[in-house]
Amino acid sequence: MNAEVAKVFLDTLSAVKTYKDMVYSIALTHTRNRSDADDVFQEVFLAYQRKQPVFDDHERRKAWLITTTLNCAKQNTTNSWRQKVVSLQGYIADEKAEDSFHFQSEEQDIVFAALQELPDKYRTAIHLFYFEDLSIAEISSTLNIESGTVKVHLSRGRAQLREKLKDSCIEWGSEGELN
Please report which confidence band the pLDDT of residue 33 belongs to, taking 50, 70 and 90 as the band edges.
confident
- Separate counts of helices (H) and strands (E) for the chain: 8, 0
Q: How far apart are the first and last CA of the chain?
A: 53
**Amino acid at the residue 64:** W
Sign of the torsion angle spanned by Cα atoms 150, 156, 157, 159: positive
| Domain made up of 102-179: CATH architecture | Orthogonal Bundle (1.10)
Q: Output 176 or 119, whichever has higher pLDDT.
A: 119
Reduced to 3 states (helix: H, G, I; strand: E, B; else coil), residue 95 is coil
Domain ranges of the chain: 1-100, 102-179
Cα–Cα distance for residue pair 136/172, rounded to 1 Å? 22
Distance of CA 89 to the CA centre of its chain: 22
**Amino acid at the residue 153:** H
> Which CATH number describes the domain made up of 1-100?
1.10.1740
pLDDT at 56 over 80: yes
Reduced to 3 states (helix: H, G, I; strand: E, B; else coil), residue 173 is coil
Closest Cα to residue 26, out of 142, 136, 176? 142
Q: Output 79 or 22, whichever has higher pLDDT.
A: 22
